[in-house]
Amino acid sequence: MAELTIEQQRALALARVRRQRAQAAAEPTFEGGAAGAAALGAADTASFGFGDELGARLGAISEGLASYIPGQPEGRSYDEILAKMRDQDKRAEAANPGSYLGGQIAGAFALPGAAATSVPKAIAHGAAQGTVYGVGAADGDANDRLIGGATGAMMGGATGGVVGAAANALASRAASRIIPSTDEIKAIAQAGYKMAGDAGVVVKPEGVKRLGVELKEGLAEQGYLPKLQPRVAAVIEEADRLGAENLTFKSLDNLRRVAGNVAGSADKDEARIGVQLVRKIENYMENLPADDVLAGNASQAAAGFREGQENWARFKRSELVDTQAQKAARRAASTGTGGNADNAMRQNVRQILDNPRKSRGMTDEELAAAERVVMGSKLENGLRQVGRLSPTTGGLSTMMTTAGTMMNPILGVPALVGAGAKIAADRSTARNVQALSEVIRSGGKTSRDLVKAARRGEGPRGLLDAIAKSDARTGGMIPLLSVLGPLLADKVRG
């Protein structure tokens, strides 16, 4: 191999030096390794991005004080230390990007959290922390920090809102678990009736006779005519017959059932009188006088009967709502497109309100919840109107949308908006139906109402603990997400 000339050796040496410089520029060096990069990343987010400023300020003060010691060099300025620290952070992140980001995430977990007890509070908390980090993470002038703070506020508020909504959803789910199901309410009612039967009550003839007199009182004023309302006459005759002997609590309940059949009569006048008879019999059974009892536990029988009555009525109302919701779902599905799900649910609940027999016994809270299903809110009704643009509202709409989209894709945008609005409207109405069911099954409260009460410290101990833990967990996510939002946005911009 021929020896290289002086010029060739000089050219090779020059190329080697240039290559080394290029490698040094392309591969930043950081002496701290992955662990050091993670520590710097954690310090960045744990200090809301102000770690370099704080470190530089403390360093300048420390070196300034040390310079007064004889033989010590003059301390560096704040700007000099800050520049070096920021350079170190950049080299650490460039050399170990995964470790640095992992440290930032770990540092965000150390930030103070707050229970996400409401969406507005969660938004405010996230926006506040996002603003502070956005300002602290910006390395430029006041304008850069202003932009960073605004970005942090928007992203932190948005993530806080998402966390708050998630917290409410988890809390409502926990609350819904303590609300008995329709089948459970039925079982509770049957247990109450059994409790009444097990009391072994025997009623004296005098008490039953007095009840018979009360049943007859006011019948003339109510327009009672035996020949026109023969079923009412049957109740009166049965009460007179039972008043001739001692009577068990079960026999009293049978009399109530006979009167109940009258209350369900197709004849309005007969049904109206039957309702009054049922109420008088139930009032006697629920408040059974001790002097009328020949044997058995009167208070146990009355308490068990009240428990059975209350829960059986609740069971029947809940069962009715469930049935109407199932009918609405089947009717909507039978159209082929399912386009009238919202309308079907509203109409079926309206049938309950419009029928005095079906709505009888509903509480004010239940009636209000049913009205909410039928009438909807302004937002829900607005979504319902926009949803008419959805191609799923009918075959003609589907064909027109398909044809228009084929000619011009832009013409498909209204259909997409309509589809989204329709889905939102259907889900909103379904939630209203669910709320009506919860109000009936819980005795007047929705799962959201139970959550609000629990956050005030009211309600079963188990629910209080479950919601407190859920709120704490989700609330702890706010600082993490409110910092990571602007952090990732900055990395994307970079």
Best CA proximity match to 234, nearest among 256, 214, 259, 210:
259
Range of the domain at 256: 200-296
In a domain, 395, yes or no: yes
Q: Is residue 253 part of a domain?
A: yes
Which pLDDT score is estimated for 319? 92
Q: Is residue 127 part of a domain?
A: no
Asked whether residue 475 is domain-assigned, the answer is no
- Would residue 183 count as lying in a domain? no
Average pLDDT over residues 141-167: 76
Task: Kindly state the DSSP code that residue 30 receives in the 8-state scheme.
Answer: -
Q: How many domains does the chain have?
A: 3
Quote the crossing angle between the two packed helices 119-137 and 142-178, to the nearest 10°: 150
Please indicate, yes or no, if residue 343 is contained in any of the structural domains. yes
User: Would you say residue 116 lies in a domain?
Assistant: no
- How would DSSP label each residue in 252-281? HHHHHHHHHHHHT-SSHHHHHHHHHHHHHH
Last residue of some domain: 425, 442, 457? 457
How far is 18 from 116, CA to CA, in rounded Å? 57
Is 344 in the same domain as 213? no
The rounded distance, in Å, linking the Cα atoms of 472 and 464 is: 12
Residues 128-142: what's their mean pLDDT?
Answer: 74
| CA 98, chain centre distance (Å) | 36
Single residue among 296, 320, 351 that ends a domain in this structure: 296
Shared domain check, 381 and 351: yes
- pLDDT the model gives residue 400: 46
What residues does 295 pair with on adjacent strands?
202
Residue 187 has pLDDT above 90, yes or no: yes
Read off the pLDDT of each residue in 114-132 and give the average, rounded to a whole number.
Answer: 73
Least confident of 34-48, 207-221, 327-341: 327-341
393 and 356 share one domain: yes
Specify whether 238 is located in the same domain as 322. Answer: no
Question: Tens of pLDDT along 137-152?
Answer: 777 677 877 877 787 7
Confidence band (pLDDT; 50, 70, 90) for 25?
Answer: low
Name which residue leads in pLDDT, 446 or 18. 446
Residue 103 to residue 97: CA distance in whole angstroms? 10
| Choice among 155-169, 239-253, 408-422 with the minimum mean pLDDT | 408-422
Last residue of a domain, one of 107, 129, 161: 107
Is 322 found in the same domain as 213? Answer: no
Q: Is the confidence at residue 24, as pLDDT, over 60?
A: no
Q: Which of 270-274, 334-338, 457-461: highest mean pLDDT?
A: 270-274
Token output for 465: 């603990």
Both 291 and 343 in one domain: the answer is no
pLDDT at 431 over 60: yes
**What's the order of all strands across the beta sheet hosting 293-295?**
247-248, 202-203, 293-295
55-59, 201-205, 421-425, range with greatest mean pLDDT: 201-205
> Is 91 domain-assigned?
yes
